[in-house]
A and B are shown apart, each in its own frame.
Chain A
Amino acid sequence: MATNHIVDARAIHKHFGTLHVLKGVDLKVDERELVFIIGPSGSGKSTLLRCLNRLEEPSSGSIVVDGIDMLDAKTDINHARRRIGMVFQSFNLYPHMTALGNVTLALRKVAGKGRAEAEALGRVALERVGLADRAEHTPGQLSGGQQQRVAIARSIALEPRVMLFDEPTSALDPELVGSVLEVMRGLRESGMTMIVVSHEMGFARNAADRVVFMDDGLIVEQGPPAAIFENPTHERTRAFIGQIQRH
């Protein structure tokens, strides 16, 4: 059991100047698992996620993803990142390219595919997020929900082993959230390993295998969604769950 963790992060500390954001976090994720990270703002959830693909450099600790030591100076970080998809709160699509251009850039430049093959793979990825007919549109011509789905297609086109979602629906109008969650549910059903930082508690209840509650740079408690939402054992978890359920 201990050997098939696809993500194995240990004792992660992160300092921003004098600010101690992560205070020794351990996170192990199994293959095909969907882990939901919740917690108040400033608790370090996004920073933890960003450490996993080294967009943030941890101050100390160890991170192994799919057998690759992410913090080893000898690791080809660009090669390793291909295997870890990331979806951002603000989509971050390239505004000067079409949807298809966004999806094929890394296929051509990183995966070394020719233009024709990259475009074929790109269209398949756009099809999977339900946007095959939007391939030639630029981000400015797409709704927020469509942009976020293109961003998901950009990641899955590279066939990642893990997908990281950093508040993927927080910037969306409420009526557009559903389409993105639906794509995420489809990914989950296809067996993708996913780590999701989000406030979509309904989605967490239905789809997550495990909910991790973070506060003040530490994991306070974790477990199946039912246990965390119905019977939190820690006072801080109870307070947080109570707060968000009042809304």
Chain B
Amino acid sequence: MSGWDKFVETFFNAKVMWKYLPDILSGMVVTIELALLIVVTGLGAGLALALLRSLAIRPLNWLIIFVVDLFRSLPPLVIIVLMYFGLPYAGPAPSGFVSTWLSLAFVLMAFSEEIFWAGITSIPKGQWEASRSTGLSFGQTLFNVVLPQAFRLTIPPLTNRTIAITKGTALGTVVAVTEILGQASSAMSNSYNPSPLMMGAAAYIVLFLPVVVAARWIETKFAWKR
């Protein structure tokens, strides 16, 4: 047996792969569910916080900045572990799935709030003034003039951050979530073979490559003629 054959036998073992394919596929479903929940709630909450912050209510803004800085500085793994193992002492006992979802959603909320906020503040004051001088209210100006321009600026950093955080769904393994990496590593220990891990890697590429491509498409679609 040549070295190449041994390598293929070890990392791309067809028999092992076929056996554990259903596990990896079910892991993909869990990962997709988790990722969608995280993206929708995390970005939604981040935008909501950025909009609240634009109202410039000082005590509220201090609170927002505190929460955002806290979740930006804590490692996501620590948040997941605290929520799963720590929270039950205070009463609610979220499942591993819910712990992972909420933890990563909080982290995405924190980062996306900062990105949305940077987008909003980067719009020149003259845009606000022109709109307000024609009688549009604060809210109408925000939604019709400022946010459409801010969104365009935020799309590239937002996609980066969203992909980085949704990949964090792999951290769910520590709290027994059966997502891709969890399935792959248990299959690996059951079969004494790392091929399932390769399948897991392939699954991540299959999931996230389209997201990156879609992000590029959105970027070009939102660009306006200068």
Residues of A within 8 A of B (CB): 53, 55, 78-79, 81-82, 84-86, 88, 90, 92-96, 105-106, 109-111, 138, 140-141, 151, 154-155, 158
Chain B 121-156 interface mask (CB, 8 Å, partner A; 1/0): 000101101111111110010001100110010000
B15 within 8 A of A: no
Interface size class of B (residues with CB under 8 A): 20 to 34
Are A96 and B137 neighbours in the complex by a CB distance under 8 Å?
no
Contact check: which of B124, B135, B149 meets A79 at CB < 8 Å? B135
Which residues of A sit under 8 angstroms from B137, Cβ to Cβ? 78
Assess A96 versus B133: contact at CB under 8 Å? Given A90-B126, A140-B225, A141-B225: no
Assess A138 versus B224: contact at CB under 8 Å? Given A92-B127, A94-B127, A105-B144: yes
Which residues of B sit under 8 angstroms from A85, Cβ to Cβ? 133-134
18 extra A-B contacts, CB within 8 A, seeds A82-B135, A85-B133: A53-B133, A55-B129, A55-B132, A55-B133, A78-B137, A84-B133, A86-B130, A88-B130, A92-B129, A94-B127, A94-B149, A95-B226, A105-B134, A140-B224, A140-B225, A140-B226, A155-B133, A158-B135
Which residues of A sit under 8 angstroms from B226, Cβ to Cβ? 95, 138, 140
Q: Which residues of B, 153-208, contact A by the 8 Å Cβ criterion?
A: none
* CB-CB nearest 10 A-B residue pairs: A92-B130, A106-B134, A92-B126, A82-B135, A140-B226, A110-B135, A86-B133, A81-B135, A78-B135, A96-B224
A176 CA / B134 CA spacing, docked (Å): 25
A66 CA / B43 CA spacing, docked (Å): 46
Q: Max chain A CB contacts within 10 Å: which of B129, B134, B136, B144?
A: B134
Which residues of B sit under 8 angstroms from A109, Cβ to Cβ? 136, 140, 144
A161 CA / B133 CA spacing, docked (Å): 13
Which residues of A sit under 8 angstroms from B124, Cβ to Cβ? 90, 92
Give the nearest-CB partner of A138 in chain B: B225
A90 CA / B149 CA spacing, docked (Å): 17
Which residues of B sit under 8 angstroms from A154, Cβ to Cβ? 130, 134
A79 CA / B137 CA spacing, docked (Å): 9
A-B contact pairs, 24 of them (CB 8 A): A55-B132, A78-B135, A81-B132, A81-B135, A82-B134, A82-B135, A85-B133, A86-B130, A92-B126, A92-B129, A93-B130, A94-B127, A94-B149, A95-B224, A96-B149, A96-B152, A105-B131, A106-B131, A106-B135, A109-B136, A109-B144, A110-B135, A140-B224, A151-B130
Are B133 and A94 neighbours in the complex by a CB distance under 8 Å?
no
Closest Cβ–Cβ distance, residue B221 to chain A (whole Å): 12
A105 CA / B144 CA spacing, docked (Å): 8
Closest Cβ–Cβ distance, residue A202 to chain B (whole Å): 27
